[in-house]
Structure 1
């Protein structure tokens, strides 16, 4: 398989059933099963025994009619937390996510030139309709790492357009207000635990973690097991390694069949619409 020259990241995602995910023993059991599967699959797995769980708030903005969503646009805010305390700075991501690479690439999420950002074009690999299969969507991202929380933006399309000029070109009424998807109380508490690194080949080493989305502590909505790696000029041509990652992902679904939740992405659950 040959990766497109524009791809910068590959990310494999599996949704996990929420029941019991707020218990450390449940996560340990899942992690142990992954470790055993890696040994059986002869995939090197460098397990992290003492990893720290990170916490953050996550929410999405859209118009009342979800015009962003209908144009394959996602506007997400992540607020880092230190226990009960929310940081003064947040991460803002604008992305166009579509099943077609050219469609996701047509929209330019680039921010105002004065704003420091990271650009990512991700190939996101999800489970298919049948266990042991996959399908792909493409996510064209602009990520702002340090936006002052108090100066995020006014709740209007025009104000967000000052951050991301590409939004102004969308066929959306510019006078529409923006709101948090699901209402102002629909902020998600995410706990993310790194569990290790998977090695698929020379220069193709994936970070693996488990994310748990909760309405509040003790109230899991869904989990996500994901592993991802950067794609660059050095490893882009490592076709066998990329194929090995794909095969591992397909077989992992069968191994973890009892754990898996039906669905595509966590964002789709928030919107109540599939991707």
Structure 2
């Protein structure tokens, strides 16, 4: 395969059943199985034995009628945590995520000039209808790394439009309220543990990690095993390496069949609707 023009990242995702994911031994067992599978498939896996777990709070904003979601747009906030303490600044991501790469590309998530951002056009590769299958969705992202949330919204769509002008082209009434999806009770506690790096070819090395979403400590909702890599001018034409990553993802589903949860993305679980 050849990666589509403009794609900056490829990210492979598998949802993991929540049972026991708050137990270190469960994560160790999953990591050991992946390591053994990589050896069998002759994929180099530089495993991290002593990685630190990152902790953050995740939530989403939308109108009561979910006008953003209906336009395939997601507004996500991540707050980093150190133990019980929440950082004063948060990461804010606006993305258009859809099955059509042209649709995603045509939405402009760029923030106003005064806000520093990182732009990403991602191909997100998910399990298809059955084990060993693959499908793609595309997300056009603007990521603000360290902003006070009150600089982003005052509770109305109009305030979001001031920060992200592209939303103004969606035809949403700027006077509509914007609020946390599901209310404050729907804030997610996310623990993220790096597992290591997978090597699929020259310049195609993927970071692999597992994220665990919890209502609270000890109450897992779902896990997500993911590996991702940057796509650039140096590796874009590495067709064999990209294809090897695809094949690895499909075979990994079969290997981890007993671990896998039905569903598409973690965001879909929060909204309660498929993407």
Alpha carbons 1:110, 1:165 under 8 Å: kept: yes
- Deviation of the 1:168 alpha carbon: 1.1
Secondary structure of 1:103's partner?
A: helix
Aligned positions of 1:28-177 closer than 5 A: 28-177=28-177
CA distance in 1, matches of 2:232, 2:91: 24
Q: Which residue in the other structure is 1:209 paired with?
A: 209
- Deviation of the 1:151 alpha carbon: 3.5
Q: Which residue in the other structure is 1:250 paired with?
A: 250
Unaligned residue ranges in structure 1 (runs of 5+)? none
Secondary structure of 2:110's partner?
A: coil
Alpha carbons 2:152, 2:163 under 8 Å: kept: no
Q: Which residue in the other structure is 1:235 paired with?
A: 235
Q: Which residue in the other structure is 2:197 paired with?
A: 197
Secondary structure of 1:112's partner?
A: coil
CA distance in 1, matches of 2:164, 2:125: 27
Alpha carbons 2:152, 2:159 under 8 Å: kept: no
CA distance in 2, matches of 1:230, 1:12: 12
Cα RMSD of the aligned pairs, angstroms, is: 0.7
Q: Deviations over 1:85-134 (max 9, x none)?
A: 00011000000000010011111000001110000000000000010000
CA distance in 1, matches of 2:44, 2:273: 36
- Deviation of the 1:150 alpha carbon: 4.7
Secondary structure of 2:159's partner?
A: helix
Q: Which residue in the other structure is 1:187 paired with?
A: 187
Q: Which residue in the other structure is 2:225 paired with?
A: 225
Which of structure 1's runs of 4+ aligned residues deviate more than 6 A?
Answer: none
Matched, 1:267 2:255: no
CA distance in 2, matches of 1:221, 1:184: 16
CA distance in 1, matches of 2:223, 2:184: 22
Tell which deviates more after alignment, 167-176 or 130-139. 167-176
TM-score of the superposition, structure 1-length normalised?
Answer: 0.99
CA distance in 2, matches of 1:173, 1:5: 34
- Deviation of the 1:239 alpha carbon: 0.3
- Deviation of the 1:212 alpha carbon: 0.1
Secondary structure of 1:185's partner?
A: helix
CA distance in 2, matches of 1:75, 1:98: 14
Secondary structure of 2:259's partner?
A: coil
Secondary structure of 1:22's partner?
A: coil
Count the aligned residue pairs.
Answer: 275
Matched, 1:2 2:2: yes
Unaligned residue ranges in structure 2 (runs of 5+)? none
Tell which deviates more after alignment, 159-168 or 219-228. 159-168
Alpha carbons 1:88, 1:150 under 8 Å: kept: no
TM-score of the superposition, structure 2-length normalised?
Answer: 0.99
CA distance in 2, matches of 1:76, 1:210: 19
Tell which deviates more after alignment, 232-241 or 164-173. 164-173
CA distance in 2, matches of 1:219, 1:160: 32
